[in-house]
Structure 1
Amino acid sequence: MIHFIVYLLILHTMAMGEDSPAYYTPTDYILLDCGAPSSSNTVSEDGRKWVTDERSKFSTFNFESASFVSKASGQDHFVTHVPYMTARTFRDKFTYSFTVSVGLKFLRFYFYPVQYSGFDATTSFSSVTANGHLLLKNFSAYLTLSAVDGQPASLSEEFVVPCFETEKLNVTFSPSPNSLAFVNGIEVVSMPKNMYVKHQDDSVLS
């Protein structure tokens, strides 16, 4: 069972037109299993295929100096092996760069804040941006989960990000001072053209 915590900044309309197809096939569909071995193309329990971020085309030049792989010390019975048993841990600012089609992108981050090899994720604080938009500021996955009734083991943070002027989606993790950042998985999916979320200043973040 995966528990979702969704932050909706301003959601005015999500409407499908009458001429919409019955089934939408996304142009962009990326499932990144962060910290998984380079030889691993893993399938999660729900049947979805994930790719590793190890030396992948999505990782930028400072991959080795800015980050390292962490393995979870244990697996909660509510948590799936993929993508939660490995994490990419960041000691410095690090950017994933996804080549995408023009349009809105659904962006989901997966977090499992437990003890890892060489890293205690319960002490992690970080900020995350996407194409310059601030998504998470001084964020603690552990404290966020602690505030939820029942204290689920994992969470995801979900956003809608505009990519109208570029075919790149640049996602940057920045550890807070005296801390490390981490992420277990990243999901990027294109959205139908006739589905829209409008913000007051025409930027789109949900």
Structure 2
Amino acid sequence: MIRRTLLLSTALFLAACQSYDVTRDYDRTRDFGAYRSWSWKEPALQYRPDDPRIKSDLTEQRIREAVGQQLDQRGLRPAANGKADLNVQSWLIVDERQQQTSYNYGGYWGGYWGGGYMGGPAYTETRTYNYKVATIQVDLYDGKDGKLVWRGSAEQVMQSAPPSPAEREAAIRETVAKVIAQYPPH
């Protein structure tokens, strides 16, 4: 019974972590309404760590398509002549993290007006869970001076089982949509 409770609470904790942590930053002095076109800054996608299990042409293609669609929805068009108002660069970052959870068992038990002894010695069990967090970051640079004008990122706990290609594509599209949701800034 205790093991089931531990597994259930751990599963609920990890399910709660499936939400996105989205952050944005931008240069308040820029006129974002003046930006009409964009092009990729090379390399278009950077990886951290530079691991062949993460880095792939398929991942890059999915991220490029998702970013392009989101920029298109915001009225930005790919530059026809290579001279763009904005240069775009993306990052895929995978970090190893740990979470420690402690559980208390046995000892005193009771209610508001008093209590009783549940029996057995009280003890605490602490478990450490290792997990990976993936972050997609999108940087927009001014095409004239090359300075960063807008940055958005979203991080999410990765599933322990590798996703299918369709699940990867859907996750990338959803993440990029959340990253670029507040562009242009108000």
Instruction: Compare the two structures and name the one with the higher strand fraction.
Output: 2
Instruction: Compare the two structures and name the one with the higher helix fraction.
Output: 2
Superposition TM-score, scaled by structure 1 size: 0.24
Rg larger in 1 or in 2? 2
Name the structure, 1 or 2, with higher relative contact order (CA <8 Å, separation 6+).
1
